[in-house]
């Protein structure tokens, strides 16, 4: 991946507070991005985590994004680009590269796409090869559907949303503006609803939908189930990783982060700003307040008030769970001591007159 960006261009993209370094170094053209330990004189790197300060001291990076209050000075032939938040500054550079690598396709409909006459596709949208758009579906301005996307009956795709190949938005589901769905995403699969009737298990029709508010992003092969009735809702700005399962009638708040392989069972309600670590599991019909955090692989079976931090299975407050984990490691020694004391007590009893 080639950058081909000057120091001044990087400074402009990142809204740098200042640029430090020798004039010759500042004229360099940067050709790549690399970690501090791996970077060469043609690479841009960054320091966002203090644990890598020692690597900065020996890094050969031609330019480094550092915080405005970083106390060090650039090495000979090196440039410091001082920014408010180095990690976000690097993201801005990557966004510029992304726009070069994957430019927005030209507006238009590929001849192999199948579009129902009753569908409404904005003239500025881009519809890729093999896409299917069903009756009464709506595709908004500047939306992009890459190859083989399926948009169901009455579904809506908001303006500037981008669907990667083979994404599915099922019947009557709604995707807001500026959303991004990775390959294999399914929005609106049937909820897991069944009812035992005698010796049979009968399917319960799932007649609700899924609604993604604006600026939601969903990772590859993630599934969001349609509601049994009413709506499954994903709040504005929420980001969902790969291989996540969100069940029917779940409501997730705004600006939440949900890592890979999380499962959220039906009718659970989650507040704004929540963070769920990888492989966390949330039982159904629970209430999670704003800014709740779940550690990786946590198994949650109870409501959590705002600002709660839970860990472990069954999940408990983080501090308590850590103490329990430490004590659990001492159990083998404790049992040995108990066995030793029991043996000593038996010996005393046997020797008693």
Give the residue numbers annotated as catalytic, written as ranges: 248
Give the 3-state secondary structure of residue 99. Answer: helix
Pairing of strands 162-163, 180-181: parallel
CA 3 to chain CA centroid, Å, is: 26
Reference 10, options 66, 63, 58; nearest CA is 63
Q: Is the dihedral of CA 260, 213, 155, 210 positive or negative?
A: positive
The DSSP output letter for 246 is E
CB 282 within 8 A of CB 301: no
- Other Cβ atoms closer than 10 A to 95: 10
The tokens of 78 are what?
Answer: 């090196």
340 burial level (CB within 10 Å; 0-12, 13-18, 19+): exposed
């Amino acid at each position: 991946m080639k950058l081909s960006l000057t120091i001044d261009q990087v400074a402009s993209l990142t809204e740098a507070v200042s640029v430090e370094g020798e004039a010759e170094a500042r004229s360099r053209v940067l050709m790549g991005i690399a970690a501090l330990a791996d970077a060469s004189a043609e690479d841009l790197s960054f320091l966002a985590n203090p644990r890598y300060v020692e690597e900065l001291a020996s890094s050969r990076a031609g330019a480094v994004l550092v915080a405005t209050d970083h106390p060090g000075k650039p090495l000979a032939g090196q440039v410091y680009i001082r920014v408010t938040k180095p990690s976000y500054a690097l993201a801005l550079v990557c966004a510029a590269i992304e726009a070069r690598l994957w430019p927005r396709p030209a507006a238009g409909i590929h001849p192999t796409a199948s579009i129902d006459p009753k569908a409404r596709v904005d003239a500025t949208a881009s519809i890729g090869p093999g896409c299917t758009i069903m009756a009464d579906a709506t595709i908004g301005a500047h939306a992009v559907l890459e190859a083989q996307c399926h948009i169901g009956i009455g579904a809506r795709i908001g303006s500037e949303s981008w669907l990667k190949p083979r994404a599915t938005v099922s019947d009557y589901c709604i995707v807001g503006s500026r959303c991004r769905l990775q390959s294999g995403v399914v929005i609106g699969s049937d909820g897991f609803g069944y009812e035992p009737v005698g010796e049979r298990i009968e399917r319960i029709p799932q007649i609700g939908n899924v609604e993604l508010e604006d600026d939601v992003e969903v990772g590859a092969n993630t599934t969001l189930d349609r509601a049994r009735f009413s709506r499954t809702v994903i709040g504005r700005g929420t980001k969902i990783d790969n291989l996540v399962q969100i069940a029917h009638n779940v409501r997730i708040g705004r600006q939440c982060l949900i890592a890979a392989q999380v499962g959220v069972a039906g009718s659970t309600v989650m507040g704004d700003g929540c963070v769920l670590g990888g492989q966390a599991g949330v039982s159904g019909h629970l209430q999670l307040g704003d800014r709740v955090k779940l550690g990786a692989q946590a198994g949650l079976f109870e409501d959590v008030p705002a600002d709660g931090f839970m860990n472990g299975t069954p999940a408990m407050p983080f501090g308590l769970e850590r103490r329990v984990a430490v004590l659990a490691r001492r159990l083998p020694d404790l049992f040995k001591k108990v066995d030793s004391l029991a043996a000593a007590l038996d010996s005393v009893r046997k020797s008693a007159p």
